[in-house]
Amino acid sequence: MMTLAVTGGIGSGKSYVVRMFSALGIPVYDADSRTKSLYDSDGTLIERLRLILGDGLVRDGHLDRRYMAGKIFSDRGLLERVEAVVFPEVVRDFSSWKSGAGIGCPFVIMESAIYLEKPSLSGLADKVLTVVCPGEVRIRRVMERSAMSREEVLARMGSQWTDARRTDLSDFVIVSDFSRPLLPQVYDVFLKMKEFNNLNSIEQHEN
């Protein structure tokens, strides 16, 4: 069974595209929410992070995400140390999830905005789909759904990879700009992933 990574910048419409795949019966692993769940449930992980970030990381027995963000936001070295602890746990969690959720499915999806940016994650998927969208549409979307200002959205976009950089490393691209219907684009990728999975299964059987 194959894995399709779905990625895209903030406001690209990635999550909406993923929900359409889910409606077609494809299991979805939301890397962001699953990582947050690990922060809440994995005491060993929290302790390892506390040793890196300090005692202030844990408040009332729970990881303080605001404290964590404040510590790693402007310290790349500290960020890399945290990622070296967190990402292997995400990989293990994904592998465990896939072995159960993917039974009987042609493929599963890993949804992650940073999939291509992080080498620790990038080997998990067989194919990569990037969702792209014009900058102004992305800015409007994020401002409408959150309390972020235009300047804050632009800063967040500036810290992420560009669409061009992502698409250069992607097998599929879906445009989410309100001018092109999404469903035909999603269904085309759905059919191609099923075909890839069938071919892969035949090759494994022959070998």
Q: 123-182, pLDDT tens digit by residue?
A: 899 999 999 999 999 999 999 998 889 999 998 898 899 999 999 999 999 999 888 899
- The verdict on 45 and 13 lying in the same domain is no
Residue 134: partners with Cβ closer than 8 Å, 6 or more residues away: 177
- The verdict on 59 and 3 lying in the same domain is no
- The verdict on 66 and 152 lying in the same domain is no
Q: How confident is the model at residue 61 (pLDDT cuts 50, 70, 90)?
A: confident
Range of the domain at 44: 32-101
Q: Which residues of 35-44 are buried (b: 16+ CB within 10 A; e: fewer)?
A: beebbeebee
Q: Give the pLDDT mean for 92-108.
A: 94
* Strand order across the 2-7 sheet: 28-30, 107-111, 2-7, 127-132, 172-175
Q: Of 101, 132, 152, which closes a domain? A: 101
The predicted structure's pLDDT at residue 207: 60
Q: Give the pLDDT mean for 87-96.
A: 95
- The verdict on 114 and 190 lying in the same domain is yes
Query: Where residue 70 sits, what CATH number does that domain have?
Result: 3.40.50.300
Q: Of 77, 101, 125, which closes a domain? A: 101
User: Has residue 37 got a pLDDT over 70?
Assistant: yes
The predicted structure's pLDDT at residue 183: 95
Distance from C-alpha of 43 to C-alpha of 60, rounded to nearest angstrom: 13
User: Has residue 205 got a pLDDT over 70?
Assistant: no
Question: Looking only at Cα atoms, what is the longest distance across the chain?
Answer: 56
Q: Which segment of 38-42, 46-50, 58-62, 140-144 scores lowest on mean pLDDT?
A: 58-62
- The verdict on 90 and 128 lying in the same domain is no
Q: Are 92 and 109 within 8 A, CB to CB? A: no
Per the structure block, which two tokens stand in for 73? 């936001």
- The verdict on 119 and 23 lying in the same domain is yes
The predicted structure's pLDDT at residue 87: 95
Grouping H, G, I as helix, E, B as strand and the rest as coil, residue 35 is: helix
The predicted structure's pLDDT at residue 206: 66
Q: How confident is the model at residue 94 (pLDDT cuts 50, 70, 90)?
A: very high
Q: How confident is the model at residue 202 (pLDDT cuts 50, 70, 90)?
A: confident
- The verdict on 12 and 77 lying in the same domain is no
Q: Are 129 and 185 within 8 A, CB to CB? A: no
Percentage of the residues of the chain whose pLDDT score is greater than 90: 75
The predicted structure's pLDDT at residue 200: 77
The predicted structure's pLDDT at residue 122: 78
Q: Give the pLDDT mean for 72-101.
A: 93
| Overall domain count for the chain | 2
